[in-house]
Amino acid sequence: MDRIDSVRGLQARADAERAAGRRIALVPTMGALHAGHVSLVKAARQRADRVWLSIFVNPTQFDDPRDLAVYPRTLEADLVACRDAGVDVLFTPTAAEMYPEGSDTIVEVDALSRPLCGASRPGHFRGVTTVVAKLLAAAKPHVAVFGEKDFQQLAVIRRMARDLLLDVEIVGAPIVREPDGLALSSRNRNLDPEARRQAVCLVRALDAVEVAVAGGERRAESLLDLARREIARAPRARIDYADLRHPVTLAPAPERLDGPALLALGVFLGPAREGEGAPVRLIDNRLLHAQPGGGRSS
């Protein structure tokens, strides 16, 4: 595995690979790698001759400085994980490399960035799309792979690539979960044992709503009430959002579901006592398949 720190160096490597007729897949990450990231590498390997992974904790997508400060950084362990996963090139730029002095250009996808995470994290997706655009310009990949746990992020990046006519395929890979159902996330390691136990309220809520839809429930508000009640069973959980959205446009789902709908959840898990640390923000989602015409009417 080769490690490259400079944009120029990565671009030169990309030019050489492309000239040799080899396909490049990029897996952008912020490090603190886990089995979910390894699954992205495997998905990338199925689509390309060379798999590149980037590790860059992007400061412009953090709306809360405390969140940036505590975001886990485990570079030495990440190097081992990348080698074991068969990554060909690891790109580890500095903030100064990605944002040269005087940088004044941003990339923003407007409508898709507003709801869900965007409603409570102003500027977050502007930071995401700006850095992903830079990573795509640096790596020149044929395909880039992102996890479906960050469903809104995936939708935003797909729209950005389409709107800017970027010659890259954006691929979503399925969520990888821990044995109790909690979606794998780098932030999970910031949970204390009790918060970790309560974090499964997310998957309990997703499961309960999916069962209700399978049983014929189609009323959006009833389904959301069910999700909120499940989350409320975790005393240290505070809901950021619980919403039903169109899986492509992220527009609000109709009052009665009549087709596929995305159930998206965002929750803060607080510390044992106030002031002992910052809450840990977790997200999860489930695509619901509600067939039109069925369901309860009251």
Q: Where are the domains of the chain?
A: 2-173, 186-289
| Mean pLDDT of the chain, nearest integer | 96
Residue-wise pLDDT tens digits, 178-218: 999 999 999 999 999 999 999 999 999 999 999 999 999 99
> Which residue type, as a one-letter code, is found at position 293?
G
Q: Are 286 and 206 in contact (CB under 8 A)?
A: yes
pLDDT of residue 224: 98
pLDDT of residue 123: 95
Q: Which of 37, 124, 246, 289 does the annotation list as catalytic? A: 37
User: Residue 292 — pLDDT band, cuts 50, 70, 90?
Assistant: confident
pLDDT of residue 294: 56
Percentage of the chain with pLDDT > 90? 92
pLDDT of residue 103: 97
Mean pLDDT value of segment 214-231: 98
pLDDT at 52 over 60: yes
Residue-wise pLDDT tens digits, 141-169: 999 999 999 999 999 999 999 999 999 99
Task: Verify whether residue 124 is a known catalytic residue.
Answer: no
Q: Are 129 and 158 in contact (CB under 8 A)?
A: no
CATH number, span 2-173: 3.40.50.620
pLDDT of residue 297: 44
User: Residue 273 — pLDDT band, cuts 50, 70, 90?
Assistant: confident
Residue ranges of alpha helices (H) inside the chain are 7-19, 35-45, 65-70, 75-85, 95-98, 117-120, 124-139, 151-163, 193-198, 201-214, 220-232
186-289 homologous superfamily: Pantoate-beta-alanine ligase, C-terminal domain (3.30.1300.10)
**C-alpha to C-alpha distance for 131 and 244, rounded to whole angstroms:** 28
pLDDT at 295 over 60: no
User: Residue 298 — pLDDT band, cuts 50, 70, 90?
Assistant: very low
pLDDT of residue 291: 82
Q: Are 74 and 30 in contact (CB under 8 A)?
A: no
Mean pLDDT value of segment 236-248: 97
Reduced to 3 states (helix: H, G, I; strand: E, B; else coil), residue 286 is strand
pLDDT of residue 276: 75
